[in-house]
Structure 1
Amino acid sequence: MALIFYSHFSVDGENNLFFPKIDNLIKKLTDKYHLNLNVRQRSYRLNTKKEPIADLIVQKRVGSPVFDFWLFITTPNTHKFNTAAKPNQLETTSIWTTSS
């Protein structure tokens, strides 16, 4: 069984042209989860330091000031689980899901 940890949450951007609330949240998540690492740094962190890496997807809803955030976490064991599992054994697990 493979575990892909993720979190999904939504934030109201408050109909501001530049969405400062969203920009600040992205900066906080970038600092907390090291989202600004390049490919070489991510590989070193995951394979040598045995620390998780993260990816963030942010999407604005059409015709709405609401933004959806998906944070995906890859652990040092994710690849091992994925290669050992058969395709029909793969599943995802949410570490938390909230909506605001």
Structure 2
Amino acid sequence: MADIKKRVLTLSTGKQIKLFGNSIAIGKSLEMGEGYAPNLFCAGSGNEHEKSSGTINNPHSLTAEELHEIADFNIRLWLDLKDNLRKYGYTNPKTFRPGD
């Protein structure tokens, strides 16, 4: 299973990808990229050194229900990407049509 440590994404194949940010993101078009800034909901200010301070940064005052909704939305996008990869492969532009 893939893992991110010290801004390096390591895949089960052994391939390693150096990240500039600290996460992987998906857009509505099912394109993947790096998520640079933890600015919606994070520990501290998103800074690794501040995470142990015990503070939570929630600048939009999101409720637990709203956070679940955002998580569900992203999970659906990732599942749509997996479905499209199975259906079209990774060389077909149709892969990037959500819900196709």
* TM tier, smaller: under 0.3
Q: TM-score normalized by structure 1?
A: 0.27
Bigger strand share: 1
Which has the higher relative contact order, 1 or 2, with Cα contacts under 8 A spaced 6 or more apart? 1
Q: TM-score normalized by structure 2?
A: 0.27
